[in-house]
Structure 1
C-alpha cells in the first residue's frame, strides 16, 4: 500500500512536468520573433523554463511523501513508517532536489550565457562565404563564458570555506533538535547552501520588482482584454471620424487656393494635426478590419467569433485573479507580521518562525487540502503558474533594464533571441526566489510539515501517553518548536523547508535580506495596484505606430457593461455608432 501511494505521488509529479514542458514550449514560441528564430535559443529556453518550474513544483511532492508516513487523524506514524524507511524517502528527495537545483544553476550560469554568446557570434555574411565555422563560433562563445565559469567557481569556494554563523550556533534559543539539525558542518552542503542563497538573494530583488508589479497588472490585463467598444462600432466610428477629418482638410486647402503665401501659421498647424490624426485613423480602421476578420479565411473569421463569445470568461477570470492576488497579499502580510513579532531568534537565524501564531488563509487552505492528495498539488500548480504568469507580465511591462536604461523590450511575437535568453535568466532567478517566498511566507506550515500532527502528552503527567483516538484535544500540529519525544517520533520536516532554513540560519545575512525583501514585494504590489486601480492608462503612441494596435481603454473602476455589449456586437457583427463631436476641426 505504501509503495502504491508513493508511486502515485511520483506519477502525479511526472504528469505535472509534462504539462509544464508544453506550457514552456508555448510560452517560448509565443514570445520569440518568427523572423529571427534560432534552434539553440529555442531549445535552451524551453529546457530552462521547464527545469525551473519543475523545481518549485517538487515542494507538494515533498510534503505529500513526508506526510504519507503519518496518520494525521491519530497523531502517530503509520506501521510501515519505521525510521529507516522515512530516511530512505528523505534521501531520495534530497537527491532529486540537489539534482534540480544544480541543473538550474548550471543552466542559468553556464548554458544560457554560452547560448547567448554563441548566437551573438553568428555572422550571416561570413558564414555564407565560408569565413566562419561552427568551431569558431563555439570558441568565441566559450571565451566570453569563461568569466561566468570563474564566477561559479568563486561562489563555491567562498561557500566551502566561509565560517558558520557562530552567534547562531551558540544561541540558547536554538537549542532544539530541529535547529541543531540545520547547523551541520558539512562542507559540501555548506557550499551548495551558500551558492543557492546567493542566487536566491539576487533573484529576490528581481522578484520583488517584476513579480510584485506583475501580480497587480495581470488581473487588470485580463479585465481590460474585453474592449470598451466592439470592432463593428469601432469601424463605424473610425469611418465617420475619417470622413470628417478629410472634409476639414479640404476646407482648409480650399480656403487658401490662389493665395500666394499659402496657408497661414494657424491653418498650417491645424492641417499638420489633421494629417497626423488621419494616419492614426487609417491604422485604427485597418485594425478594426483585422479584428472583424475581413478578407480572411473562413476559419479565421470563425475563430474571431469564438474569441468574442468567450471574451466574458477572460473578464471573469481577471476578477477571480484579482481576488486571488489580494488573498496572496493578505496572507504574506500576515506571515511577515507573525515572523517579525514571534520569531524565536529574529535576525540571528533569518526570522525562522517556530509555529504559526496568526490565522493565515492560504496556509490553512493548503494544510486542509493536503489531507487528500492531489488536491493540494493541483492548487499549488495553479498558484505557481499564477506567479509565473505575473512575472512574465511584469517583465513585458517593465522590460529588461539596467537602472533607467532600457536594454530589451519583451513583446509577443517580437522578442529577439538575445532578449529571450535574458528573460529566461530573469525567470530562473525569480523562480529560485519563489521557492523561498512560497515556502516561508505564502504557506509556511504546509511547506514545512504539511498536515502532520502528533499526540501530545499531558504536561502534568508526562509519563502517561493519552489515547488520541478518544482525546482529540491532545492532537497538535507539528512545528519547529515541537521538541518532545512524541513530536520527534512523528514529525518529519520537508526537505525543501530544511534546505531553505539551513541557508537562512547558517548565513543570517541572506535570511535578513530575503525576509525584508518580501515587504518590498508587497509594497511594490500595493503601489502598482492602487495606481492601476484609479488611473486610466494611456497607450504609448509610438507603440501604437509600431504594432498597429490601438484600443479605447478605461480604468479598472469603470463600468463593465459596455464591455459585454461590445462582445455581443462582435458576435452578431452589428455595431452601434456612439457618435463623434466636432469642434474647430478636432474630433473626440
Structure 2
C-alpha cells in the first residue's frame, strides 16, 4: 500500500512536469519573434523555465510523501512508517532537490550566459563568406562566459569559508539545532542558493508585485469591441476610399501638391497620415489572426478568441485569489514580526503560525485528499509565474531607469528572451521561498501531519488518540511533547529554506522585509490600475497597443460575444460600425 501511494505521488509529479514542458514551450514560442528564432535560445529557455517550475512544484510532492507516513486522524505514524522508511523518503527527496537546485544554478549562471554570447557571436555575413568557423564562434562565447564561471567559483568559495551563525541559547529545540550545519560543501550550496534568492527577491518585489496587481485587472478591462475579420474588412474599405481620394487630389495638380489650394493640401496631408494609420491597423489585424504564421500561432489566437468571453469572469476570480494571497502574506509577515522565536538573529524564523491564514488553511485541508492540494498549489504557482511575466512586459528589462529590452508577444528578440528567462529563474527561486515560508508556512513544513499531545502521566511509546480527538494537534517546530518528535517529519524544502535563514541570518532579514515592500508595491499598483487602464511606457507605446486603444478595447460586454464568434469562424459579419 505504501509503495502504491508513493508511486502514485511520483506519477502525478511526472504528469505535471510534462504539462509544464508544454506550457513553457508554448510560452516561449508565443513570445519570441518569428523572424529571428534560434534553436539554441528556444531550447535553453524552455529547459530553464521547466526546471525552475519543476523545483517549485516539487513542494506538494514533498509534503505528500512525508505526510503519507502519518495518520492525521489518529495522530501517529502508520505501521509501515519505521524510522528507516521515513529516512529513505527524505533522503530521496533531498537528492532530487539537490539535483534540481544545482541544475537551476547551472542554467542561470552558466548556460544562459553562454547561449546569449553564442547567439551574439554569430555573424551572418562572415558565416556565409566562410570567414567565421564553428570553433571561432565557440571560443568567442566561452571567452565571455569565463567571467560568469569566475563569479560561480567566488560564490562557492565564499560560501565554503563563510562563518555560519552559532548555536544560540534560546534555540533549545532539536529541530533548529539540526539546521546549524558544519558541512562545508552543504554550507557552500546553502550560501549560493541564499545569494541567488536574495537577488531574486529584489526582482520578485519589483516585477511580480506589479504583475500580480495588473494581471487580473487587465483581463477584466481589456476585450475588443470589434472582431478581427470585421475590423479587417472595415479597414480595407477605408484604406481603398482613402487612396481613391488621394488619387483624385493628385490628379488635380498633376502630381505637384504645390498647385493645390491650402485647403486641399491640408486634406492631402491628413489623408497621408490616415493611410499610415490604416496600414498599421491592417498589419495588426493580420497579426491578430495569425496570418503568415505557423499553425500553432493561428491555433493560439483561435483559442484566445474562444475564451475571450470568459476573460471578465476569469479576471474577477483571479483578482479575488490575488487578494487572498496578499492578505495571507500580510498576516504571516505580521505574525513573523511579532512572534518570531529570535527575530533578526535567526532570520525571523517562525516556530508555528499564530494567526489564521486562508491560503495555508485551504492547502492543509486539501492535502488530506491528494492531489487536490497539488491542483490548488499549481494554480497558485502559475498565477504568480504569469504575474511575473506581466510585470516584465509592463516594466521592461531595465538598467536603472534605462529600458534595455521589452517583452511582447511575437516581438521578443532572442537576447531579450534569454534575459527575461534569467530574471524569471531568479524570481521563481524567490517565489519558492515566499510560498513556502510566507504564503503557506504550515502546509509547506508539515502539511496535514498531526500528533497526539498526551498527558505526561500516560506511558510513552506509539502515541494513540483513538479515544480522545481533542488531543490531536497540528505538528509544529515548537512542539515540546516527545510524541511530536516521534511522529512529525518536516518537509525537505522547509529544512533547506530554514537552514539558509538560520545559518545566514542576513538573508532571512532581507527575505522578511522584502515581503512588506512586495505588499506595498502591490497595493499602490492595484489602486492606481483601478482608475487607469494598464499600458506600457507612453514613450515607447507599441503600434499594436496604440491601435488597440484606437479601436476601443474597453467596449461593452454585449459586443464582445459577436466579435468572438467572428474571430473563431474567421468571417466578418454585418459591421454596423457607425463610430463609438
TM-score (norm 1): 0.88
Offset at 1:158?
0.7
1:210 lines up with 2:207 in the alignment: yes
Bigger mean CA deviation after superposition, 238-247 or 409-418: 238-247
CA contact (8 A) 1:75 1:452 kept: yes
Counterpart of 1:221? 218
Of 476, 479, 483, which aligns to 2:476? 479
Offset at 1:124?
1.5
**SS, match of residue 324 in structure 1:** helix
Of 355, 359, 366, which aligns to 1:369? 366
Q: Distance in 2 between matches of 1:225 and 1:53?
A: 28
How does 1:122-521 map onto structure 2 within 5 Å? Answer: 122-166=122-166, 169-172=167-170, 174-231=171-228, 234=231, 272=269, 275-284=272-281, 287=284, 308-458=305-455, 461=457, 468-521=465-518
State how many pairs are aligned: 575
Q: Distance in 2 between matches of 1:259 and 1:382?
A: 61
Q: Distance in 2 between matches of 1:348 and 1:375?
A: 37
CA contact (8 A) 1:200 1:433 kept: yes
Of 544, 547, 550, which aligns to 2:548? 550
Counterpart of 2:63? 63
- Residues 235 and 135 of structure 1: is their aligned pair in 2 closer, same or farther, counting only changes over 3 Å? closer
Counterpart of 1:50? 50
Offset at 1:375?
1.2
Unpaired segments ≥5 residues, structure 1: 581-587
CA contact (8 A) 1:451 1:477 kept: yes
> Deviations along 1:193-223, whole A, 9 cap, x unmatched?
1000000000011111111111122223333
- Residues 347 and 401 of structure 1: is their aligned pair in 2 closer, same or farther, counting only changes over 3 Å? same
Q: Distance in 2 between matches of 1:72 and 1:299?
A: 47
Q: Distance in 2 between matches of 1:520 and 1:477?
A: 31
1:574 lines up with 2:573 in the alignment: yes
**SS, match of residue 550 in structure 1:** helix
Bigger mean CA deviation after superposition, 547-556 or 183-192: 547-556
> Deviations along 1:525-574, whole A, 9 cap, x unmatched?
22222222111356759645378853457798x86444346446767843
- Residues 560 and 531 of structure 1: is their aligned pair in 2 closer, same or farther, counting only changes over 3 Å? farther
Counterpart of 1:34? 34
Q: Distance in 1 between matches of 2:253 and 2:133?
A: 65
Bigger mean CA deviation after superposition, 571-580 or 298-307: 298-307
Bigger mean CA deviation after superposition, 297-306 or 188-197: 297-306
Q: Distance in 2 between matches of 1:573 and 1:197?
A: 56
Offset at 1:316?
2.1
> Deviations along 1:430-476, whole A, 9 cap, x unmatched?
111111011011111000000000000236x4668885112111000
Q: Distance in 2 between matches of 1:300 and 1:97?
A: 35
Counterpart of 1:16? 16
- Residues 237 and 142 of structure 1: is their aligned pair in 2 closer, same or farther, counting only changes over 3 Å? closer
**SS, match of residue 178 in structure 2:** helix
Counterpart of 1:584? none
Offset at 1:310?
3.6
> Deviations along 1:277-309, whole A, 9 cap, x unmatched?
443245435655876899999999999777545
Counterpart of 2:531? 534
Bigger mean CA deviation after superposition, 404-413 or 90-99: 404-413
Offset at 1:272?
4.3
Counterpart of 1:583? none
Alignment RMSD: 3.5
**SS, match of residue 35 in structure 2:** helix
Offset at 1:327?
1.4
Offset at 1:27?
1.6
Q: Distance in 2 between matches of 1:528 and 1:395?
A: 14
Unpaired segments ≥5 residues, structure 2: none
Q: Distance in 1 between matches of 2:3 and 2:294?
A: 54
